[in-house]
């Protein structure tokens, strides 16, 4: 498969089949993704992995527990919570990508950008092996909550970048239309 074809054909996968995913493979692909990514300075990120059914159950409960504290929310969000829980239990492997913040705003942005590039490399390398994933940043307050970040062990000087749910799949969803690059282009006139 050519590089262009790989980039073009990769799709976000939200529905996984029951095939198990090897932690070793995920780690190898992630390390390779890191090695293939250009960056300045030292690595300022880390990953939290949840692959066993027990770990996934924990992760699912971390997402919902703050919300389920409230009786009102329990009643209104019950259906949503159930579908969220199901999604977590159906994803064989989960990676949480975490970056260190920096008092220097430029360094902070650079580290965040680098980790995003690594994750995209990882998505592509995994796709080559027919391993799919969805990169999740929302919705708030499930994923973007202080409680969830505390539970997954985020330190004060760390920022959550994304949760990747990973697994094998049977069906590839259709791609979405993209904004044409020309519409995003401004040339400085001479």
Interface residues with ligand FMN (CB under 6 A)? 11-12, 134-138, 162, 175-176
Integer Cα distance of 51 and 147 in angstroms: 21
Residue 5 to residue 28: CA distance in whole angstroms: 23
Kindly state the smallest distance separating residue 190's Cβ from ligand FMN, in Å.
Answer: 36
Shortest separation between residue 63's beta carbon and ligand FMN, angstroms: 12
Cβ distance to ligand FMN smaller for residue 179 or 186:
179
Q: What are the angstrom distances between the C-alpha of 120 and each of 113, 178, 185?
A: 11, 17, 23
Residue 127 to residue 139: CA distance in whole angstroms: 25
CB nearer ligand FMN, residue 131 or residue 136: 136
**Residue of minimal CB distance from ligand FMN?**
12
- Give the residue with the Cβ less far from ligand FMN, 89 or 104: 89
CA-wise closest residue to 23 among 86, 87, 92, 85: 92
Q: How far is the CB of 187 from ligand FMN (least distance, A)?
A: 27
Identify which of residues 11 and 44 has a Cβ nearer to ligand FMN in the complex: 11
Q: How crowded is the C-beta side of 44, counted as CA atoms within 13 Å?
A: 22
CB of residue 71 vs ligand FMN: minimum separation in angstroms? 27
* Closest distance of CB 36 from ligand FMN, Å: 18
CA distances for 153 relative to 110, 121, 146, angstroms: 23, 25, 11
User: Is the CB of 22 or the CB of 137 nearer to ligand FMN?
Assistant: 137
């Amino acid at each position: 498969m050519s590089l262009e074809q790989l980039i073009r054909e990769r799709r976000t996968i939200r529905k996984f089949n029951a095939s198990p995913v090897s932690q070793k493979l995920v780690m190898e692909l992630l390390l390779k993704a890191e090695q293939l990514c250009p960056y300045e300075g030292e690595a300022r990120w880390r990953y939290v992995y949840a692959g066993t059914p027990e770990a996934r159950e924990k992760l699912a409960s971390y997402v919902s527990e703050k919300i389920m504290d409230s009786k009102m929310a329990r009643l209104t969000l019950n259906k949503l919570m159930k579908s969220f829980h199901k999604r977590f239990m159906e994803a064989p492997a989960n990676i949480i990508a975490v970056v260190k913040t920096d008092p220097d705003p430029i360094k902070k942005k650079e580290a965040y950008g680098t980790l995003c590039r690594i994750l995209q490399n990882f998505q592509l390398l995994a796709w080559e092996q027919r391993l799919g994933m969805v990169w999740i940043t929302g919705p708030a307050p499930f994923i973007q909550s202080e409680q969830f970040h505390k539970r997954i062990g985020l330190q004060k000087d760390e920022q959550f970048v994304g949760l990747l749910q990973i697994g094998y799949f049977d069906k590839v969803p259709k791609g979405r239309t993209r904004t044409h690059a020309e519409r995003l282009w401004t040339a400085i006139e001479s």
